[in-house]
Amino acid sequence: MEKSDSKSRIRNPQSRIRSVPSEKGGSAERSLERDCRHKMVRRIKVQSVTDMVKERLREMIMEGELAPGAKILQDQIAEELGVSKTPVLKALHVLQSENLVASIPRRGFFVRKFTMSEIADAFAVREVIEGVAAEEAANRMTDKEIKRLAGLFAPFEPPLDAEKTEAYAAADKKFHGLILTASRNEFIQQIDSMMNVLSISFQPGLLRSPEQTIPEHQRIVEAIKARDPLGAREAAMDHLYRTRTWLGEQLRIQEELSKEA
């Protein structure tokens, strides 16, 4: 028996060797692991740079630094932000999916310019989501937040000159953004983030005069102050419905004029 076992071991000299990983194999595995880690880090870095570029481009579009219809010069943006063209291109594709930019084959990316009809559609969406947002804000806003909301329009007493009107437009946008945030409803905020309905509707600037909209904003604030959710929803929806109705009238006028021409 002992001889048989001995012969078996001699016949298979590699059997014991195979069970022990070679130093060369272990080194290859460690090298592969390092490569995977490095690739993952690079992906994270690229993604974080892309997010930074995307937010800066969104800000430039929102603030009018990049006007509706303007071509987005990728080389210039990359140079200004100190990045390569890759994250700029990736950011533009994301903004395209968010309706803020448009890609024209062989011409490049442009800031999307919305028609009056598209803006009216954006107001229809806002009418629903901001009605719910105002309702929830009436229940969830802190007293400090309500005070800040009410104070946005304190400096504005009609009639307003050109400078005051511009400041009022900025306050108007901030007002509606605060209500969306104060709703504490992440789905409402995600809808606005994905579709940019608030930004789209503000692209043409003020559509109705401060004399018309200041009392409507005040009604929203008063309902939220009174912790009246249904009153806040009705006031917010009525405010946006009036603007949507005004847009509809403008569209009808344009259609009539085009027929006459």
- CATH C-level class of 17-111: mainly alpha
Q: How many residues does the chain have?
A: 261
Architecture of domain 116-260: Up-down Bundle (1.20)
**Which residue do the tokens 């954006």 mark?**
122
What average pLDDT does the segment 6-15 reach?
47
Instruction: Please say if the pLDDT value at position 128 is more than 80.
Output: yes
Is residue 167 within a helix (H) or strand (E), and if so which, with residue range?
A: helix 162-182
Contacts of 37 (CB under 8 A, 6+ apart): none
| DSSP line for 68-135 | TT-B--HHHHHHHHT--HHHHHHHHHHHHHTTSEEEETTTEEEE----HHHHHHHHHHHHHHHHHHHH
Pair of tokens at residue 86 = 């890759």
- Residue 179: pLDDT band with limits 50, 70, 90: very high
Q: What is the pLDDT of residue 9?
A: 47
> What percentage of the chain reaches a pLDDT higher than 90?
65
Residue ranges per structural domain of the chain: 17-111, 116-260
pTM of the model: 0.73
CA pair distance 166, 176, nearest whole angstrom = 16
Domains 17-111 and 116-260 are alike in CATH topology: no
Arithmetic mean of pLDDT over the chain: 85
Q: What is the C-alpha R_g of the chain?
A: 30
The tens digit of pLDDT for each residue in 141-164 reads 999 999 999 999 999 999 999 999
